[in-house]
């Protein structure tokens, strides 16, 4: 605790709703704007994680509404709790993977990441805050719960008054009770990428006339993408679309998926599609990969990456293992089996990969929700995934669609789709999941529209590294014809509830590999609707979005 004359104790009332979800605390901006709301949550973090006096903390965010104005508040509380140094990016912006890297690189005590990721921004949008540990990874579930418990009894917090923070000036600034260091995080991140990928080969590939289009969606990745694609690889400035970060993301919903980035799907289907079309999300940890006439399903992406990893400089020795979140398709399991390495199945939430990465048990991991990453950092990494694909295309001298089709011809195809059902009344969504859970013992052997259920459970995870247990992580239903349905509730929304229904149907390599996804999955979708009694519980006849 700092005891200088600039620091004082401020009284407040506890808030009861500061329970972190899948990835930190996410709320509407107007909720975060309530008096003492941000300060109370920060106080709960500082009281729970007890940062050693004088240590450094990485602080930064995706540039959304409330990002910049929150940093002086964080610095004031951090100073009062004895933090010696705040490290941030220019204007207080850091992509999530760059922040994770910076924590590790600078041996900081942890990080406070200001982001609601792919959620909409602006004054009516969302804001978020999450604490990452000294490993660079998100706080584990037990720490997140302890922070929530602490938040419910915060009746005061300590704050130091600091001079105005010079966030737009690179370098070190002495603020009296704390030091502020503003770094060029794009340069540091690009240097890390140069250790993993063959920049000369990619630059050659571009010089040969191959084009890339990367859409930063006016979110955090613009400056990073310009540094890498334009300055270091020689792509034209026009290769990076919507490069300037804006607090409201210029009206974009910064979520790289075919619904919110329909314009990129259209570009990839046009006769003059670039060889690689890609996007990332608000905080730069997600990725969407497209090429002429083809979007790579995120579940296929991690499988293809694993198959080819040893062709790229950072992964020449292969990887010790791989992991996917439970709802992610089992395409990557088949590659792991062929390579003779373990494939771990974890609950949804990138933090569940972190112990495995930290223990050296895995080298690559991925999720259906457009997230992929490797042991180079402890968050998923959007631009890294784009560079992985670009390096791969340059190395294989193949078009993106051929790389994917080759993969299906070797391993078969896992047709995959996630259906989202948004419901205002969260209780109805919870009741649906409860009803499924209650009926689990009776499911194996039940006939379901031409096939039968072979296994059903509520996913329970035991972390192989520290033995911690996570129960009720999603209802899994396996069918005799190779289909799988998973039901779970999203943990990242800020209003109502979103029921996610994940559909997966495997077709062997000698089967029909070129069907439309919706056609291939139509029978499974109707089985999922019947089994989950989706219309009865939600009133919805069709998904709000199919991704």
Catalytic residue among 95, 117, 297, 301: 117
Of 85 and 330, which has the nearer Cβ to ligand G16?
A: 330
Residues from 35 through 94 that contact ligand G16 (CB under 6 A): none
Interface map 373-402 toward ligand G16 (x if CB under 6 A): ------------------------------
Stretch that binds ligand G16, among 4-12, 210-218, 235-243, 487-495 (CB under 6 A): 487-495
Among 18, 20, 23, 245, binds ligand G16 (CB under 6 A): 23
Q: Does 95 bind ligand G16 (CB under 6 A)?
A: no
- Helix or strand (DSSP H, E) at 86: strand 85-89
Q: Does 546 bind ligand G16 (CB under 6 A)?
A: no
Of 203 and 540, which has the nearer Cβ to ligand G16?
A: 540
Tokens of 296: 């790579």
Minimum distance from CB of 328 to ligand G16 (Å)? 9
Among 348, 372, 374, 494, binds ligand G16 (CB under 6 A): 348
Cβ-proximal residues to 351 (8 Å cutoff; 6+ apart), any chain: 23, 137, 138, 139, 140, 141
Q: Does 118 bind ligand G16 (CB under 6 A)?
A: yes
Q: Radius of gyration of the chain from Cα atoms? A: 23
Of 210 and 280, which has the nearer Cβ to ligand G16?
A: 280
Cα–Cα distance between 424 and 100 in angstroms, integer?
34
Q: In 3-state terms, what secondary structure has residue 315?
A: helix
Stretch that binds ligand G16, among 208-216, 269-277, 296-304, 346-354 (CB under 6 A): 346-354
Cα–Cα distance between 99 and 282 in angstroms, integer?
14
Annotated catalytic, 280? no
Q: Does 257 bind ligand G16 (CB under 6 A)?
A: no
Minimum distance from CB of 126 to ligand G16 (Å)? 10
Minimum distance from CB of 495 to ligand G16 (Å)? 13
How many residues bind to ligand G16 according to rule CB under 6 A?
17
Q: DSSP H helical segments within 325-374, as ranges? A: 331-339, 351-358
Among 117, 273, 301, 419, binds ligand G16 (CB under 6 A): 117
Interface map 283-322 toward ligand G16 (x if CB under 6 A): --xx------------------------------------
Using the structure block, give the residue that is written with the tokens 């490797």. Answer: 374
Cα–Cα separations (whole angstroms), residue 130 to 25, 44, 372? 6, 12, 19
Minimum distance from CB of 115 to ligand G16 (Å)? 7
- Helix or strand (DSSP H, E) at 529: helix 517-532
Stretch that binds ligand G16, among 186-194, 307-315, 367-375, 528-536 (CB under 6 A): 367-375
Of 157 and 502, which has the nearer Cβ to ligand G16?
A: 502
Task: List the one residue out of 419, 411, 463, 459 whose CA is nearest residue 302.
Answer: 411
Minimum distance from CB of 204 to ligand G16 (Å)? 33
Cα–Cα distance between 298 and 342 in angstroms, integer?
20
Cα–Cα distance between 358 and 378 in angstroms, integer?
8
Stretch that binds ligand G16, among 106-114, 208-216, 366-374, 452-460 (CB under 6 A): 366-374
Of 65 and 205, which has the nearer Cβ to ligand G16?
A: 65
Cβ-proximal residues to 201 (8 Å cutoff; 6+ apart), any chain: 391, 394, 395
Of 373 and 483, which has the nearer Cβ to ligand G16?
A: 373
- Buried/exposed code over 402-424 (b: 16+ C-beta within 10 A; e: otherwise): ebbbebbeebbbbbbbbbbbbbe
Minimum distance from CB of 30 to ligand G16 (Å)? 20
Minimum distance from CB of 211 to ligand G16 (Å)? 27
Minimum distance from CB of 67 to ligand G16 (Å)? 15
Among 490, 507, 515, 533, binds ligand G16 (CB under 6 A): 490
**Is the distance from CB of 325 to CB of 346 less than 8 angstroms?**
yes
Cα–Cα distance between 205 and 377 in angstroms, integer?
27
Tokens of 30: 């107007």
Of 181 and 422, which has the nearer Cβ to ligand G16?
A: 422
Among 125, 245, 371, 482, binds ligand G16 (CB under 6 A): 371
Cα–Cα distance between 26 and 43 in angstroms, integer?
17
Q: How many residues does the chain have?
A: 547
Cα–Cα separations (whole angstroms), residue 455 to 408, 485, 486? 26, 11, 12
Query: Which DSSP symbol is given to 242?
Result: S
Three-state SS string across 293-308, please?
CEECCHHHHHHHHHHH
Task: List the one residue out of 180, 176, 179 whose CA is nearest residue 5.
Answer: 176
Among 105, 215, 227, 367, binds ligand G16 (CB under 6 A): 367
**Is the distance from CB of 526 to CB of 503 less than 8 angstroms?**
no
Q: Does 491 bind ligand G16 (CB under 6 A)?
A: yes
Minimum distance from CB of 503 to ligand G16 (Å)? 15
Among 245, 349, 373, 382, binds ligand G16 (CB under 6 A): 349
The catalytic residue positions are 117
Interface positions with ligand G16 (CB under 6 A): 22-23, 117-118, 285-286, 325, 348-350, 367, 369, 371, 490-492, 500
């Amino acid at each position: 605790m700092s005891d200088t004359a600039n620091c004082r104790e401020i009284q407040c009332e506890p808030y009861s709703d500061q329970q972190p979800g899948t990835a930190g605390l996410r709320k509407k901006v107007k909720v975060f704007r309530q008096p003492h709301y941000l300060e109370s949550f920060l106080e709960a973090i500082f009281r729970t994680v007890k940062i050693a006096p004088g240590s450094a903390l990485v602080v930064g965010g995706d540039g959304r509404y409330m990002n910049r104005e929150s940093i002086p508040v964080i610095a004031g509380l951090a100073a009062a709790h004895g933090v010696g140094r705040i490290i941030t990016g220019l204007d207080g912006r850091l992509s999530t993977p760059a922040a994770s890297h910076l924590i590790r690189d600078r041996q900081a005590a942890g990080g406070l990441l200001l982001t609601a990721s792919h959620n909409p921004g602006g004054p009516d949008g969302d804001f978020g805050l999450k604490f990452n540990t000294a490993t660079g990874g998100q706080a584990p579930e037990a720490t997140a719960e302890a922070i929530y418990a602490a938040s419910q009894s915060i009746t005061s917090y300590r704050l130091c008054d600091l001079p105005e923070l010079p966030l737009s000036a690179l370098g070190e600034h002495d603020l009296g009770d704390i030091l502020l260091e503003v770094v060029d995080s794009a340069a540091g991140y690009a240097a890390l990428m140069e250790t993993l990928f063959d920049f000369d080969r990619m630059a050659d590939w571009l010089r040969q006339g191959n084009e890339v289009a990367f859409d930063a969606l006016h979110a955090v990745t613009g400056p990073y993408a310009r540094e890498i694609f334009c300055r270091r690889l020689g792509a034209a400035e026009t290769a990076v679309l919507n490069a300037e970060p804006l607090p409201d993301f210029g009206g974009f919903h910064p979520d790289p998926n075919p619904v919110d980035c329909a314009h990129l799907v259209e570009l990839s289907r046009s006769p003059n599609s670039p060889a690689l079309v890609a996007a990332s999300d608000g905080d730069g940890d997600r990725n969407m990969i497209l090429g002429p006439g083809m979007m790579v399903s995120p579940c296929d992406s991690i499988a293809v990456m694993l198959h080819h990893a040893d062709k790229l400089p950072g992964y020449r020795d292969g990887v010790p293992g791989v992991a996917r979140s439970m709802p992610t398709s089992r395409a990557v399991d088949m590659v792991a089996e062929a390579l003779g390495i373990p494939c771990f199945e974890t609950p949804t939430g990138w933090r569940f990969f972190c112990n495995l990465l930290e223990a050296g048990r895995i080298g690559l991991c991925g999720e259906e929700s457009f997230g992929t990453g490797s042991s180079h950092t402890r968050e998923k990494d959007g631009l890294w995934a784009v560079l992985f694909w670009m390096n791969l295309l340059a190395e294989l001298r193949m078009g993106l669609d051929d790389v994917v089709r080759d993969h299906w011809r070797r391993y078969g195809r896992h047709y995959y789709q996630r259906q989202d059902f948004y419901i205002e009344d969260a209780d109805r969504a919870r009741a649906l999941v409860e009803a499924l859970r209650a009926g689990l013992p009776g499911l194996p052997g039940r006939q379901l529209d031409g096939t039968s259920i072979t296994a059903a459970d509520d996913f329970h995870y035991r972390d192989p590294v520290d033995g911690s247990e996570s129960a009720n992580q999603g209802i899994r239903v396996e069918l005799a014809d190779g289909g799988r349905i998973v039901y779970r509730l999203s943990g990242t929304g800020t209003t109502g509830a979103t029921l996610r229904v994940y559909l997966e149907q495997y077709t062997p390599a000698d089967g029909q590999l070129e069907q439309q996804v919706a056609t291939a999955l139509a029978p499974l979708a109707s089985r999922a609707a019947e089994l989950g009694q989706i219309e009865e519980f939600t009133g919805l006849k069709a998904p709000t979005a199919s991704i």
